[in-house]
């Protein structure tokens, strides 16, 4: 087996077809087809189910894809090691995050320290973010999911209170706080299943015996905000992510401590990778200097009622709790 054949197989699996794989590799489609066919014929195996122009992995193909992911990840790290001569002068750090707010101050310091590195951020819910780590599509994740899984290594960063927000004409709009039981019967606009904010809020409602009347499920904070502005219902958001608007008002829950917790997570097997180590060092520095500056500034911008995120504990690394 040649590495070029494995690379073609890996690209077809990623792209879901031979045409997309050819574009990824910048080679012709017949070349990709020939390399994959040679791999299958040499070993007498079937790696893909072929359905017209689309393909899907066979069980054996899925196993080989996982190995190929590791091989090409290690290949990339090897190239970076040789090119940079021990210094992070170039490379690409991929971050998966549940939102831009928690990760911004980390990225700002990281970019100042390593200006030659390219950094990209993909946003999704906690389930999607963890999956990107497992699929080797991100080196680091910033999320709030509590998952007991020995495959992950986690650094706790900060916590942020969940609040509700309503249209300015809503009966809650003139109140600074409400009881969580006041939400009984209210039309709620909630995040999708898999969102940490959704899970934390659902748990709090259940603990207080409140059955929500969900009028809408939306997969983004921005869309929930627009729905509340239009008067569709009551929304929920982490306080650090609340963006003021003349049409909406933020309201705290006075009898329910509902929080999301920001964690920086990587694969346990990759915590020693140079890019990952460099990012975790930045996180440790932010922890030692107080961290959570973003949460504080966001809270002050919202209404000046004090700091949103509780000061994080002294830095310590551990597996995801």
pLDDT at position 84 is 65
- The full length of the chain comes to 321
Domains of the chain: 3-61 (1.10.10.10), 83-158+261-302 (3.40.190.10), 160-259 (3.40.190.10)
Integer Cα distance of 79 and 67 in angstroms: 19
pLDDT at 311 over 80: no
Helical ranges in 149-292 per DSSP H: 196-207, 221-229, 274-288
Q: What is the pLDDT of residues 24-62, one digit of tens each?
A: 999 999 999 999 999 999 999 999 999 888 899 999 999
* Interval 187-197 mean pLDDT: 87
pLDDT at position 240 is 82
Torsion of CA 307, 175, 161, 216, to 10 degrees: -140
Integer Cα distance of 204 and 190 in angstroms: 14
What are the b/e assignments for 240-267, b being 16+ CB within 10 Å? bbbeeeebbbbbbbeebebbbbbbbbbb
pLDDT at position 107 is 93
pLDDT classification of 101: cutoffs 50, 70, 90:
confident
CA distances from 29 to 20, 68, 82, 214, 267 (A): 9, 20, 31, 48, 34
More confident residue, 205 or 79: 205
pLDDT at position 292 is 54
Give the percent of the chain with pLDDT over 70.
88
Give Dmax over CA atoms of the chain in angstroms: 73
pLDDT at position 296 is 43
More confident residue, 158 or 284: 284
Q: What is the pLDDT of residues 156-180, one digit of tens each?
A: 888 889 999 999 999 999 999 999 9
pLDDT at 224 over 90: yes
pLDDT at position 91 is 81
Mean pLDDT of the chain: 85
| The two structure tokens encoding residue 23 | 């574009």
* Residue 268 CA to its chain's centroid (Å): 17
pLDDT classification of 257: cutoffs 50, 70, 90:
confident
pLDDT classification of 145: cutoffs 50, 70, 90:
low
Q: What is the pLDDT of residues 229-245, one digit of tens each?
A: 999 999 999 888 888 99
Integer Cα distance of 29 and 20 in angstroms: 9
Q: What is the DSSP letter of 268?
A: G
Q: What is the pLDDT of residues 71-83, one digit of tens each?
A: 998 888 887 777 7
* Interval 204-218 mean pLDDT: 92
* 210: helix, strand or coil: coil
pLDDT at position 140 is 96
Decide: residue 304, CB within 10 A, 0-12 exposed, 13-18 middle, 19+ buried: exposed
Helical ranges in the chain per DSSP H: 3-15, 18-25, 29-43, 59-84, 100-113, 126-134, 196-207, 221-229, 274-288, 293-302
pLDDT at position 279 is 95
More confident residue, 75 or 306: 75
| DSSP annotation string for 30-63 | HHHHHHHHHHHHHHT---EEEETTEEEE-HHHHH
* 191: helix, strand or coil: strand
pLDDT at position 291 is 60
């Amino acid at each position: 087996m040649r590495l070029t054949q494995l690379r073609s197989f890996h690209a077809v699996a990623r792209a879901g077809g031979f045409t997309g794989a050819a574009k990824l590799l910048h080679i012709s489609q017949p070349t990709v087809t020939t390399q994959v066919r040679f791999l299958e014929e040499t070993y007498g195996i079937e790696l893909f189910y072929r359905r017209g122009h689309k393909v899907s992995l066979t069980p054996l193909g899925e196993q080989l894809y996982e190995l190929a992911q590791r091989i090409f990840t290690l290949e990339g790290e090897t190239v970076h090691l040789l090119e940079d001569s021990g210094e992070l002068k170039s490379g690409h750090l991929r971050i998966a995050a549940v939102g831009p707010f928690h990760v911004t101050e980390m990225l700002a310091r990281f970019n100042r320290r390593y200006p030659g590195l390219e950094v990209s951020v993909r946003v999704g819910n906690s389930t999607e973010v963890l999956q990107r780590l497992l699929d080797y599509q991100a080196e680091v994740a910033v999320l709030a999911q509590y998952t007991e899984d020995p495959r992950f290594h986690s650094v706790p960063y900060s916590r942020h209170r969940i609040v509700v927000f309503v249209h300015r004409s809503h009966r809650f709009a003139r109140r600074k706080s409400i009881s969580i039981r006041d939400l009984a019967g209210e039309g709620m606009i909630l995040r999708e299943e898999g969102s940490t904010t959704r899970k934390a809020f659902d748990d709090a409602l259940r603990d207080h015996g409140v059955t929500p009347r969900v009028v809408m499920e939306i997969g983004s904070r921005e869309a929930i905000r627009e729905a509340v502005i239009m008067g569709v219902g009551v929304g929920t958001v982490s306080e650090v992510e609340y963006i003021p608007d003349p049409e909406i008002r933020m309201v705290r829950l006075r009898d329910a401590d509902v929080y999301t917790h920001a964690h920086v997570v990587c694969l346990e097997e990759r915590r020693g990778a140079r890019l990952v180590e460099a990012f975790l060092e930045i996180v440790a520095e932010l922890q030692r200097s107080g961290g959570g500056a973003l949460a504080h500034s966001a809270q002050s911008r919202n209404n000046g009622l004090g700091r949103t995120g509780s000061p994080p504990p002294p830095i310590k690394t551990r597996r995801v709790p």
